[in-house]
Structure 1
Amino acid sequence: MNQKIDILKKYMPESAAPVIAKWIDHYRCEFKISRTRNTKLGDYRPPYEGHGHRISVNYNLNPYAFLVTTVHEFAHLKTWNEHQRNAKPHGQEWKNNFKLMMRPFFELQLFPKEIHSAILNYLENPAASSCADLGLYKALKTFDAKQPNALMVEQVPDQQEFYLKNGRKFKKLERIRKRYRCVETASGLVYLFSPVAEVYLAKNPD
Structure 2
Amino acid sequence: MDKVKILSKYLPDGAAPLISRWIDYFKCDFKISKARNTRFGDYRPPQKGEGHRISVNYDLNPYAFLVTTVHEFAHLLTWKEHQGRVKPHGTEWKKNFKRMMQPFFDSHIFPEDLRFAIVSYLENPSASSCSNITLLRALKKYDKESASSTVESLPFKTVFRLKDGRTFQKETLLRKRYRCLEIHTGRLYLFNPMAEVYPLQA
Q: So what's the TM-score if we normalise by structure 1?
A: 0.82
**Partner residue of 2:128 out of 106, 109, 130:** 130
Aligned mates of 1:90, 1:181 — CA distance in 2: 29
Q: Is the 8 A contact 1:39 1:193 kept in 2?
A: no
Over aligned residues, Cα RMSD in angstroms?
A: 2.8
Q: Is the 8 A contact 2:157 2:170 kept in 1?
A: yes
Q: Is 1:111–2:110 an aligned residue pair?
A: yes
Within 5 Å, which residues of 2 pair with 1:54-203?
A: 54-124=53-123, 126=124, 128-132=126-130, 133-148=132-147, 150-156=148-154, 161-165=159-163, 167-171=165-169, 185=183, 193-203=191-201
Q: How many percent identity over aligned positions?
A: 56
Aligned mates of 1:178, 1:184 — CA distance in 2: 19
CA 1:79 to 1:58, structure 2 compared with 1: closer, same or farther past 3 Å? Answer: same
AA matched with 2:101: M
Unpaired segments ≥5 residues, structure 2: none
What are the Cα deviations for residues 119-143 of structure 1, in whole angstroms up to 9, with x where unaligned? 111112x374432211111111101
Q: Is the 8 A contact 2:158 2:201 kept in 1?
A: no
What are the Cα deviations for residues 30-64 of structure 1, in whole angstroms up to 9, with x where unaligned? 11111111111111111122221111111111111
- Which secondary structure state, in structure 2, belongs to the residue aligned with residue 55 of structure 1? strand
CA 1:177 to 1:77, structure 2 compared with 1: closer, same or farther past 3 Å? Answer: farther
Q: Is the 8 A contact 1:172 1:181 kept in 2?
A: yes
Aligned mates of 2:63, 2:145 — CA distance in 1: 15
Q: Is the 8 A contact 1:90 1:130 kept in 2?
A: no
What's the CA shift for 1:27? 0.9
Unpaired segments ≥5 residues, structure 1: none
- Which secondary structure state, in structure 1, belongs to the residue aligned with residue 43 of structure 2? strand
AA matched with 2:199: L
